Copies of this chain bind each other. A is one copy, B any other.
């Protein structure tokens, strides 16, 4: 009632054209405020409940941002309240190439193009992007498929990367991060009911976006298991097993490959990929190749009928840039894809610009080349060192086994959880690895994601940990995990 009283004072806004501007705005604002004035409905009577909501959404699971991360956020806030210092939790900055923020700033505020403190190659890139944007601004909507010249640059990048095999800009679709591309393509592919519901084959472990989108779309998740004993290799016989078993209860139509793996980080061999392609051909599967982790210098990826992906270069991901390359799609389906993308108008234009910088690194002769090369070597060298360090240290701990880290910013070690700890977890109604990770968080402040959120063979347990923190901090983290693990084994022996 307070609300109502507070608002009745304002008069009713005029409804003539002269109301444009302030009075229009206040009339509308008033209407909005009025909407908050409503009789109280008791909680029992709420319109939208777990019973009445969309059951597919209810079924979605998404561990990467699940209870562990929420708990970590709470701890972080609590510590901020207790002290004014920052809690060094997850994430971690990186000294990314300075060309990137320079070009982004120039695109954002073109007045800076007159400033002598920016290098010429940064200005050249910014001008090229701005000239292709509506109103020469990142602030206008773009075409739904993305800015033309940025799609051309992505195609040129893929062509270079693939040793000259040409990519067609018409097949490039810019997206709001990789997640958007994956869910858009899956949305188009899914159909049928009962036994003809679409089956989507995904690796286990997988990046949980897949299982979440499959659930949202009411499709059928068809698991194939990566071979942990063989460095998470993909075995075509396992694909065959999975597709045969799935045919009993659904119509398998899509095969998702994540390469480099996420969270597992393995890089599949050429032989394996060739086998996969022949398998997809034989089984008439739409092949979806998630290559988000392909290059730390901006991701990429493709579809065979095909998608392709975004930058995960640290300090870029927040821009939500991404792309997909869709090959061999029926022209009518291309039209359907563009239509679907256009409902969301366009991907963030700043994210598109970010993508353009990522696929256009400085080349020899350009002002920024030397610094860029130094920074890149340093980042990649560091990652390689940290990957080795992590693998070595984990494998010294009894009850932890860690495959080599090949192409990810993560480790995904297997952990032994004693029977008593499994029981304790069950008593808390938690998955055993969730219980383990929650204890790790509470006792050390280290936030990792339980393997159950990605999927794992029954009876095995894992967690995903980033290796992004600086070497010295990473050493400390690994030492703490080691100590925690040894204590944990003792406690639940």
**Contact partner, A52, options B191, B216, B271, Cβ 8 Å:** B191
Residues of B within 8 A of A300 (CB): 29, 32
A162 and chain B: residue at smallest CB distance: B33
18 contacts between A and B (CB under 8 A): A2-B165, A7-B163, A17-B404, A18-B384, A19-B267, A25-B295, A28-B294, A31-B291, A32-B259, A32-B300, A32-B301, A38-B304, A48-B329, A52-B191, A54-B188, A139-B314, A140-B315, A318-B349
The A260-286 residues at the B interface (CB cut-off 8 A) are 260, 266-271, 273-274, 276-277, 281, 284-286
CA distance A463 to B308 in the complex (A): 37
Given known A-B contacts A33-B163, A53-B336, A407 and B38 have beta carbons under 8 A apart: no
CB-contacts of A45-69 with B (<8 A)? 46-50, 52-55, 57-58, 60, 62, 64-66
Partner of A346, one of B268, B294, B318: B318
Q: A24-B267, A24-B407 are in contact. Are A189 and B350 (CB under 8 A)?
A: no
A residues 277-320 touching B (CB-CB < 8 Å) = 277, 281, 284-287, 289, 291, 293-297, 300-302, 304-306, 308, 314-320
Q: Are A333 and B16 in contact (CB under 8 A)?
A: no
State whether the Cβ of A360 lies closer than 8 Å to any Cβ in chain B.
no
Additional 15 contacts, C-beta under 8 A, given A6-B163, A15-B267, A53-B336: A13-B270, A15-B266, A28-B295, A33-B162, A35-B302, A38-B328, A48-B286, A49-B330, A50-B333, A102-B109, A105-B109, A140-B317, A142-B318, A317-B345, A350-B351
Known contacts A25-B295, A35-B289, A304-B38: A164-B319 contact under CB 8 Å: no
Interface flag for A374 (CB, 8 Å): no
Is residue A180 contacting chain B, with contact meaning CB distance below 8 A? yes
Q: Chain B's nearest CB lies how many Å from the CB of A373?
A: 12
Chain B residue with Cβ nearest A65: B342
Q: Which residues of B contact A400 (CB under 8 A)?
A: none
Verify A165–B36 contact, CB threshold 8 A.
Answer: yes
A327 at the interface (CB under 8 A from B): yes
A31 contacts B320, C-beta separation under 8 Å: no
Q: Of B6, B24, B163, B351, which is within 8 A of A406 by CB?
A: B24
Query: What is the size, in residues, of chain A's interface with B at 8 Å between Cβ atoms?
Result: 167
The reply to whether the CB of A21 lies closer than 8 angstroms to some CB of chain B is yes
Q: Is A480 an interface residue (CB 8 A)?
A: no
Q: Which residues of B contact A66 (CB under 8 A)?
A: 339
Tell me which residues across on chain B come within 8 A of A380, comparing CB atoms.
Answer: 20-22
Q: Residues of B contacting A9 with CB < 8 Å?
A: 163
Docked-complex contact B332 and A47, CB < 8 angstroms: no
